[in-house]
Amino acid sequence: MHIVVCIKQVPDPSQARIDRETGLVIREGVDKIINPYDLYALEESLRLKEAHDGQVTALSMGPPSAEDVLKDAVAMGVDHGVLLSGRDFAGADTLATSYALALAVQKLESVDLIICGKQAADGDTAQVGPGLAANLDRPHVTEVRKIRHIEEDKMVVERLTDTGYEVIRLSLPAVITVVKEINEPRIPGLRGMMRAKKAQIPAWDAEYIGADPQRLGLKGSPTRVWRTFEPTRHGQGEMLRGTAGEQAVLLWEKLRGRL
Amino acid sequence: MEYFLTEEQQMIKELAARIAEERVKPVAAELDEKEEFPWEIMSILAEADLFRVWVPEEYGGLGGGVFEQALVVEELSKACSGVAVSYAASGLGAFPILLYGSEEQKNRYMPDIASGKRLAAFALTEADAGSDVSAIATTAVKDGDDYVLNGTKQWITNAGDAEIYVVIAVTDKSKGARGSSAFIVEKGTPGLSFGKKEKKLGIRASSTREVILENCRIPKENLLGREGLGFVVAMKTFDKTRPGIGAQAVGIAQGALDVAVNYARERVQFDQPISSFQGVQFMLADMATQTEAARALVYSAAKMADSGVGNISKAAAMAKLFASDVCMKVTVDAVQVLGGYGYMREYPVEKMMRDAKITQIYEGTNQIQRSIIALELVREAARKSRK
Ligand SMILES: Cc1cc2nc3c(=O)[nH]c(=O)nc-3n(C[C@H](O)[C@H](O)[C@H](O)COP(=O)(O)OP(=O)(O)OC[C@H]3O[C@@H](n4cnc5c(N)ncnc54)[C@H](O)[C@@H]3O)c2cc1C
């Protein structure tokens, strides 16, 4: 079984700040880390690899520094890392990103399953997983909270919903995106970290994956960011105290006042 | 303070710190309350290759030594020293094998200890033989190709949970201190059993039990070194592991100091943070200075232990003695800085104060450490005057 995990390098969300004047995310002086949701994708791929004697390739599109997150993935236990990097890819929105990743996946040999994190912590669109599936013309399921069963050409997964979960069967190869309920990502061991330090991460450019430059990067990205702003907070939360009955009475009084 | 760690040592320290912060700290109070052996954390440490750091490469290790082990113990102790000692005691059980084991014994036991698959333990103390190890009454009698062991070891860390035990027993009473020997006994051997888990003041996650040997028959191949080496094995082992107790003490002290400093910045009395009061400032400054001095001594002793220089007993004893006394003082002061909140179990410093006490007692009480240091001083002086 060959599993591809798509991972992204993002600015550490815990250090995120916005420039009030330009409305842009401040990237200087902010650590770059692996997108937290992708850790669950990596962990799931490693569990499948261990249970089914497979191999895992981590794939990332980004600047040369994205090699770091691929090395993190190698430290956790993936077999190979591939970096899509070059000027052509810069400024890509989700459409151009899914296109490029799909071409890279097609360069890899006999891929059975592609796992992505639910969304990236910087863009928060959750579009690349489904976009990748569309480009590859393969089925996909988003927000998977459990893989129930997997065999050569099909799998059964549980998809998290607001009210519970759905059980879905899909044929392989397929794309899934996973939520954090699916597992607890491992902490890489020392031997993995040492292996990662020595690992060679090949960098593929647009030409190598046979991409149409018009569909890549800024040129291939119809999305335009109109304006970004910090939401202003309205009002304040209030905790109601007391027994459930007392709280219900308090709540009713507050609501009635507003009617 | 900058200790100029190598890249690999830095990696070990950061990894241990990450596990301490993410996986140990959140459960430390619960482990203490329930007095539960931290199996889950032991397997996380194993998967992280941290049991490998002090084991030579030929036995599945990463080729470090006492220093690398001390880095891990220190980081884990910042979060929970009950966890740290469970990890370190496997080293205490394994060093006799590394130091005196045959190639065959090392190949047989060390890879599983390095991978963390099996824990080790060291059984010397008995009810009537604490500081006076020569008073041990456990016997090992040669019988054909076997030894038959009888006796009860007391307060053995990791007993019951560990699978590999190094046991010191008397083989020839007439030879006194030269009449004891070290043996490897595996869990599951008929005649080997364990007492109930002791209820303790601190390090309550760690298990402490009796090791009971009743006609416990082991093959003669399980003798370490040769007959008569028992106490030498024990003393040379302690030379390697006392810096680790020092590291445990430094870790607890640092953990307590970190909590105290943060608390002092946030706690407001008389309309100002208590960190603005000189009385509190001076306490914090002394705590930090003493902890750093202890760390420097521990690191030096650990590096000496790895360097292969001759006698390291004095340095190892000094590191253990000084760091554990500092640890006791710093944790008491940390509780003081937190006042009544420090006395409550909601805050971690009362546990650290309870955990600190053991570092002054085990692997030789601090009185015994002082005797060792004084003895070495006198010996060194005598050697010099003879020249
Ligand atoms: C939690 C815990 C875990 C332990 N783990 C292990 C283990 O894994 N393996 C193992 O073998 N043992 C273990 N021990 C035993 C430990 O090493 C002994 O408790 C320690 O060596 C002291 O012995 P004792 O308690 O009998 O005290 P004693 O020897 O009875 O000492 C009592 C007091 O007398 C003082 N004293 C004794 N002799 C002298 C002297 N000559 N000069 C000055 N003062 C002296 C001591 O310093 C102490 O203050 C453990 C103990 C505890 C509490």
pLDDT band at B194 (very low <50, low <70, confident <90, very high): very high
Q: Looking at ligand 1, which atom is closest to the CA of residue B121?
A: 8
Q: Which of B226, B243, B276 is the last residue of a domain?
A: B226
A95-109, A221-235, A241-255, B42-56: lowest mean pLDDT where?
A221-235
B76 touches A: beta carbon within 8 Å = no
Query: What's the CA-to-centroid distance between B207 and ligand 1, angstroms?
Result: 17
- Domain of residue B176, CATH code: 2.40.110.10
Half-sphere exposure of A88 (CA within 13 A, CB side): 18
| Residue finishing a domain among B66, B97, B118 | B118
> Lowest mean pLDDT: which of A24-33, A50-59, B10-19?
A24-33
Rounded to an integer, what distance in angstroms lies between the CA atom of residue A142 and that of residue A157?
A: 10
- By three-state DSSP, how is residue A40 classified? helix
User: Does one domain contain both B241 and B301?
Assistant: yes
Residue-wise pLDDT for B348-360, tens only, equals 999 999 999 999 9
Q: pLDDT tens digits for B143-166? A: 999 999 999 999 999 999 999 999
pLDDT interval class at A124 (50, 70, 90): confident
Other Cβ atoms within 10 Å of A71 Cβ, number: 21
Mean pLDDT value of segment B83-89: 98
Distance B361 CA to ligand 1 centre (A): 6
Q: In this predicted structure, which of A220-224, B256-260, B319-323 has the lowest mean pLDDT?
A: A220-224
Based on the domain organization, do B349 and B217 belong to the same domain?
A: no
Task: Work out the average pLDDT over B209-232.
Answer: 97
Look at A187 and B52 and tell me if their CB atoms are within 8 Å: no
Least confident of A17-21, A79-83, B92-96, B314-318: A17-21
Indicate which CATH number applies to the domain containing B370. Answer: 1.20.140.10
- Residue B187 is classified by DSSP as T
Report whether pLDDT(B241) > 80: yes
Could you say which of B168, B201, B226 is where a domain stops? B226
Based on the fold, state whether residues B216 and B287 are members of the same structural domain. Answer: no
Residue B97 falls inside a structural domain: yes
| Position with higher pLDDT, A256 vs A169 | A169
pLDDT digits (tens, 9 = 90+) for B32-42: 999 999 999 99
Residue B72 lies in a domain: yes
Chain A contact set for B22 (CB, 8 A): 187
Q: What pLDDT is stored for residue A134 in this prediction?
A: 96
Q: B387 in a domain, yes or no?
A: no
What is the arithmetic mean of pLDDT over B111-134? 97
Q: Kindly state whether residues B89 and B176 are assigned to the same domain.
A: no
Chain mean pLDDT for chain B: 97
pLDDT band at A92 (very low <50, low <70, confident <90, very high): confident
A122 has a pLDDT exceeding 90: no
Is there a domain that residue B94 lies in? yes
Over 80: is that where the pLDDT of A27 sits?
no
Q: Domains in chain B: how many in total? A: 3
Per-residue pLDDT, A259:
72
> Could you give the ipTM of this predicted complex?
0.88
Which among A72, A190, A197 is the top mutation candidate for probing chain B, defined by the most B β-carbons within 10 Å of its own β-carbon?
Answer: A190
Query: What is the pLDDT at residue B201?
Result: 98
B257 in the same domain as B352: yes
> Tell me, what's the pLDDT at A100?
94
Residues of A in contact with B14 (CB under 8 A): none
Residue A190, pLDDT score: 97
Compare A7 and A90 and report the one with higher pLDDT: A7
Distance CA B89, CA B122 (A): 7
Task: Work out the average pLDDT over A94-108.
Answer: 94
pLDDT at position A38 is 96
Per-position DSSP letters for B124-140, written without gaps between them: --BTTBSS-GGG---EE
pLDDT band at residue B58 under the 50/70/90 scheme? very high
Taking only the tens place, the pLDDT of each residue in B278-300 is: 999 999 999 999 999 999 999 99
Name the residue of B136, B248, B359, B361 to mutate for ligand 1: max ligand atoms within 8 A of Cβ: B361
Residue A17 confidence (pLDDT) above 90 = no
Mean pLDDT of B302-317: 96
A18 pLDDT band (50/70/90 cuts)? confident
Residue B262 has pLDDT above 80, yes or no: yes
For B65, the domain range is 7-118
Question: Looking at residue A232, what is its pLDDT?
Answer: 80
* Per-domain boundaries in chain A: 2-228
Mean pLDDT, rounded, for B76-104: 98
Residue B386, pLDDT above cutoff 90: no
Task: For residues B244 and B367, state if they share a domain.
Answer: yes
Residue A197 one-letter amino acid: K
Tokens 């996973």 label which residue? A178
Residue B2 has pLDDT above 80, yes or no: yes
Residue to mutate, B87, B157, B201, B365, ligand 1, most ligand atoms under 8 Å from C-beta: B365
pLDDT at B61: 97
B159 CB less than 6 Å from ligand 1?
A: no
Kindly state the average pLDDT of the residues A51-56. Answer: 94
CA A1/CA A13 separation, integer angstroms? 33
A9 pLDDT tier (thresholds 50, 70, 90): very high
Averaged confidence pLDDT in chain A: 92
Structural contact between residues B356 and B248, judged by C-beta atoms closer than 8 angstroms = no
**B321 band by pLDDT with thresholds 50, 70 and 90:** very high
pTM confidence score? 0.90
> Residue A22 pLDDT > 80, yes or no?
no
Question: What is the rounded distance in angstroms from the CA atom of residue B120 to the CA atom of residue B109?
Answer: 9
Q: What is the share, in percent, of chain B residues with pLDDT greater than 70?
A: 100
Ligand 1 binding pocket includes B130 (Cβ within 6 Å): yes
Size of interface A-B (CB pairs under 8 A): 32
Angle (deg, nearest 10), helices B103-115 and B81-100: 160
Residues B235 and B375 in one domain: yes
Could you tell me if the CB of B362 is within 6 A of ligand 1? Answer: yes
Q: What is the band of B104 on the pLDDT scale with cuts at 50, 70, 90?
A: very high
Quick check: A177 pLDDT over 80? Answer: yes
Q: Where are the beta strands (DSSP E) in B164-207?
A: 164-170, 180-186, 192-194
Same domain, B54 and B134: no
> B112 CA to chain A: closest CA distance, Å?
16
Number of neighbours of residue B108 by Cβ within 10 angstroms? 18
Q: What is the pLDDT of residue A224?
A: 84
A3: β partners:
A56, A113
**How far does B125 lie from chain A, in Å, by closest CA?**
35
- What pLDDT, on the 0 to 100 scale, is given for residue B283? 98
Known catalytic membership, residue B346: no
Q: Where are the alpha helices (DSSP H) in chain A?
A: 36-52, 67-76, 94-107, 128-136, 190-198, 244-258
Compute the nearest-CA separation of A13 from chain B (Å). 18
Confirm or reject: Cβ of B123 under 6 Å from ligand 1: yes
Q: If pLDDT is split at 50, 70 and 90, which confidence band does B169 have?
A: very high
Same domain, B258 and B350: yes
Give Cβ neighbours of residue B131 (< 8 Å, ≥ 6 apart): B364, B365, B367, B368
pLDDT at A238: 83
- pLDDT > 90? residue B372: yes
Do B239 and B376 lie in a common domain? yes
The answer to whether the Cβ–Cβ distance between A191 and B15 falls below 8 Å is no
Question: Catalytic one among B74, B75, B163, B363?
Answer: B363
Q: Which tokens in the block code for residue B290?
A: 């003493």
Is residue B313 assigned to a domain?
Answer: yes
Q: Which fold has domain A2-228?
A: Rossmann fold (3.40.50)
Examine the domain organization and report whether B194 and B214 are in the same domain.
yes
